[in-house]
Amino acid sequence: MKTISPELHPRLTPIIDPWVQAVLTDKERLVEQFARYSSPLNIHALQPFAANYALYRQKLEQYRLRHLVLFARKANKCQAFVQEANRLGFGVDTASYRELNECLELGCRPDRLVLTGAIKDERLVRLAVQNNVLIILDNLDECRLVQQVAQLYRKPANVGVRIGGFTVEGQTLYSRFGFLPAEVVSLVSERFGSDNEFSWLQYRGLHFHLNGYSRRQRGAALLTTIECSDALSERGITTTFIDIGGGFLVQYLEDKQEWEHFFQELNRSVQGLREPITFENNGLGLTLIDGLVRGTPTVYPYYNETAKEKFLEEILLYEDNRGQTTASLLRERNIELRLEPGRSLLDQAGVTIARVAFRKWDSRGDLLVGLEMNRTQLMSSSADFLLDPILVSNNRLSSDQPADDRDEENPIQAQPVGAYLVGAYCLEQDIVLKRKMMLDRVPLVGDLVCFINTAGYMMHFFESEAHLFELATNLIAHPVEGQRGRYRYERD
Ligand SMILES: *Cc1c(COP(=O)(O)O)cnc(C)c1O
């Protein structure tokens, strides 16, 4: 068995909301949920969601903007967040028939819903048109489909037009989505409106959503979109809103030094200068070519200092070449600013917890901890989820632990140990996290591993049912009134 020095192993300490600590402390109640629903569990809380919304609202009010926040539903499947958005008076961005239909059934106001889905079939368009839900148009075939459906129902369809392919600082940002900025004005002014091809489409506003996390690009895209609205205005067409989509950053980690140290060590690891810190020395986007480390890590910027409302503020303060900010340009025109945050509204709103099924040492001498879950239950487009999980000892079980668990098989039980967390799919690659974890001790069967801050995309976006495994159960932790730190669980 290999030992590694815990001091040299890079840690990535997550920011943890107090509700999570409380849930992990009340172990009895937690273990009951595992007995009832099995592993893994996704546990959510609504207070952080409300607090995140409040940060956006305050910022938008500070700049005296008319506004509408729409929660991007695709980031999490729970209905509870839709109900909470509804209760707090903000909207939901939907992308499929079921997402939209559920929102309508849960009583969301149609004027606080938007349909932005990448593919809209006729059934979905009918649902939106019948209910007066704003449809964001991506291409001409979609315009034709919405026109047909609206004509069929003799009901004008509220539409916005998505813009993509912005040119920022001389470079065109490729996008598969939307119409080019140069196409939008003629589309709306020449083809929409009575007597025209798209006579049943009622133009309301403009929309974009950019890939990546650049504030500058978003600022520049917003300026271009305002220019489009001005050109339309010269032709007598009013833009009531501009929607700048989502992609607002989240700050996941406590410590900048840990973040920097991690990449230094990843670099050294890829060069073979130290024990690997990832499974099979995966470079997370870095590769060694002719002795040199190439590429950049393809990971989410888990540590960043411009998250949520600060990120929004930088977009609002982006200036045109006369020094006017986007916020003041929108205000002058009385255009409503809309945003569609998904991940960032869910910051601190959920965790994923799995039970330890086994421990073993592999042929390389690495400790493998088998979890009752699979990697699709903790997956995003980032090459790895760079937050240290928390090991929760399950005292009740450990007292029942067979005596042979304490024998020479696990001689370093009480010492820090490096381990890989492995999952239930019969794939060599079903490693839940690529990173090697430094655990305080060898876990016991029945212990719990808690992954922090997983509600935005991590738990739901890529989950699959291979081997006919059931999807994870989603619970909402509600504070028990009058009992601080006490939560009761409700299934979503
Ligand atoms: C994904 C998406 C969002 C949400 O993005 P986040 O990064 O979760 O904030 C908003 N709008 C559209 C159109 C999207 O595709």
Asked if pLDDT for residue 469 goes beyond 60, the answer is yes
User: Distance (Å, rounded) from C-alpha 201 to C-alpha 150?
Assistant: 8
Name the helix (H) or strand (E) containing 137: strand 134-137
Q: What pLDDT, on a 0 to 100 scale, did the predictor assign at position 323?
A: 97
pLDDT digits (tens, 9 = 90+) for 109-122: 999 999 999 999 99
* pLDDT attached to residue 395: 60
Kindly tell me if the per-residue pLDDT of 403 is higher than 90.
no
Q: Own/partner pairs for 284-292, CB < 8 Å, 24+ apart?
A: 284/383, 284/384, 284/434, 285/383
* pLDDT at residue 411 greater than cutoff 90: no
CB atoms within 10 A of CB 5: 10
* pLDDT greater at residue 397 or residue 221: 221
Backbone angles phi, psi at 280, to 5 degrees: 55, 30
Task: Check residue 309 and give its pLDDT.
Answer: 98
Beta-ladder partners of 449: 354, 391
Residues 47 and 19: their CA atoms lie apart, in Å, by: 9
Quickly list H helices, 238-320. 256-270, 308-316
pLDDT higher than threshold 80 for residue 61: yes
Q: How far apart are CA 253 and CA 381, in angstroms?
A: 18
Tally: H helices and E strands in the chain: 13, 21
Query: Is residue 162 in contact with ligand 1, taking CB distance under 6 Å?
Result: no
For residue 399, pLDDT over 50 is answered with no
Q: From ligand 1's centre to the CA of 394, what distance in Å?
A: 38
Reported as a pLDDT band with limits 50, 70 and 90, residue 389 is very high
Confidence of residue 3 (pLDDT cuts 50, 70, 90): low
Cα of 80 vs centre of ligand 1, distance in Å, is: 19
pLDDT of 238 strictly over 50: yes
b/e per residue, 339-369, with b = 16+ CB within 10 A? bbbbbbbbbbbbbbbbbbbebeeeeeebbbb
Q: Which pLDDT score is estimated for 413?
A: 57
| Residue 404 or residue 9, greater confidence | 9
Average pLDDT of span 322-347:
98
Handedness of CA 117, 344, 301, 325 (dihedral sign): positive
Q: Which of 55, 68, 69, 93 to mutate to test the pocket of ligand 1 (most atoms within 8 A of CB)?
A: 93
Give distance in angstroms: CA of 74 to centre of ligand 1: 8
State whether residue 243 is helix, strand or coil.
strand
Of 387 and 427, the structure prediction assigns the larger pLDDT to 387
List Cβ neighbours of 449 (8 Å cut-off, separation of 6 or more): 353, 354, 355, 356, 369, 371, 389, 390, 391, 392, 421, 443
C-alpha 276/C-alpha 268 separation (Å) is: 9
| Nearest CA owner, ligand 1 atom 10 | 246
Task: Please give the Cα distance from 119 to 145 (Å, whole number).
Answer: 12
**What region does 184 belong to: left with phi over 0, alpha with psi -120 to 50, or beta?**
alpha
Asked if residue 398 has pLDDT above 50, the reply is: no
75 lines ligand 1 (CB under 6 A): yes
From 114, 209, 308, the mutation candidate for ligand 1 (largest count of ligand atoms within 8 A of CB) is 209
Segment 443-451 shows an average pLDDT of 97
How far apart CA 469 and CA 341 sit, in angstroms, is 31
Residue 396: per-residue pLDDT: 53
pLDDT for res 449: 98
Is it the case that residue 335 has pLDDT exceeding 80? Answer: yes
Check if the beta carbon of residue 390 is closer than 8 Å to that of residue 450.
yes
The atom of ligand 1 lying closest to the CA of 340 is 10
Q: Kindly state the percentage of the chain with pLDDT values over 70.
A: 95
Indicate the pLDDT class of residue 101, thresholds 50, 70 and 90. very high
Task: For residue 40, say if its preceding peptide bond is cis, omega within 30 degrees of 0.
Answer: yes
Identify the pLDDT of residue 394: 85
> Which amino acid residue places its CA nearest to atom 5 of ligand 1?
246
What is the CB neighbour count within 10 angstroms for residue 76?
A: 30
CB atoms within 10 A of CB 305: 9
Ligand 1 pocket member 246 (CB < 6 A): yes
pLDDT of residue 40: 98
Atom of ligand 1 nearest to the CA of 207: 13
93-129 burial code (b ≥16 CB/10 A, e <16):
bbbbbebbebbbeeebebebbbbbbeebeeebbbbbb
pLDDT greater than 90 at residue 46: yes
Cα–Cα dist 34/448, whole Å: 10
The 10 Å Cβ neighbour count of residue 195 is: 5
Which tokens is 346 given?
């869910």
**CA 188 centroid distance within chain:** 32
Residue type, 130: Q
Whole-number pLDDT of residue 402 = 52
Q: What would the mean pLDDT of 470-492 be, rounded to a whole number? A: 95
Share of the chain above pLDDT 90, in %: 92
pLDDT in tens, 250-295: 999 999 999 999 999 999 999 999 999 999 999 999 999 999 999 9
Residue 400 has pLDDT above 60, yes or no: no
351 has pLDDT over 80: yes
Distance 403 CA to ligand 1 centre (A): 51
410-432: average pLDDT: 84
Q: Could you report the per-residue pLDDT of 413-423, keeping only the tens digit for each?
A: 578 999 999 99
CA distance 462 to 247: 18
**Which ligand 1 atom sits closest to the C-alpha of 457?**
8
Instruction: Centre a 10 Å sphere on the Cβ of residue 68 and count the other Cβ atoms it contains.
Output: 18
Amino acid 412: pLDDT: 45
